[in-house]
C-alpha cells in the first residue's frame, strides 16, 4: 500500500534530488557487499563511489 507524501515530504525529496549529481543518484541504487573488505577498503571505495547503502557482515570462521 502506497501512502502519498505530504507537501513537506515531497518538497524534501525534490530539493534533495535536485541537489544530487548523476553519480550520487546512481549511487543510491547500489548496495555493495564485500565481506573481505577492511575499514580502509570501505573508506577508499566510498571516496570513489557514493553508495546508497552497504551490507557489511562477517564471514563464518
Task: Residue 54: name the closest of 33, 27, 25 by CA.
Answer: 33
- Per domain, the residue ranges of the chain are 30-61
Better-scored residue on pLDDT, 56 or 37: 37
User: What pLDDT does 13 receive?
Assistant: 95
**pLDDT top residue among 23 and 50:** 23
CB 28 within 8 A of CB 52: yes
Better-predicted residue by pLDDT, 23 or 30 = 23
Give percent of the chain above pLDDT 70. 90
How long a stretch of residues is the chain? 61
Q: How far are the Cα atoms of 17, 36, 58 from residue 28, in angstroms, in the given order?
A: 11, 22, 23
Say whether pLDDT at 16 is over 90.
yes
The helix/strand/coil state of 45 is helix
Amino acid at each position: 500500500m502506497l501512502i502519498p507524501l505530504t507537501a513537506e515530504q515531497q518538497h524534501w525529496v525534490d530539493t534533495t534530488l535536485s541537489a544530487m549529481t548523476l553519480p550520487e543518484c546512481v549511487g543510491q541504487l547500489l548496495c555493495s557487499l564485500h565481506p573481505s573488505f577492511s575499514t580502509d577498503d570501505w573508506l577508499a571505495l566510498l571516496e570513489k563511489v557514493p553508495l546508497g547503502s552497504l551490507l557489511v557482515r562477517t564471514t563464518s570462521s
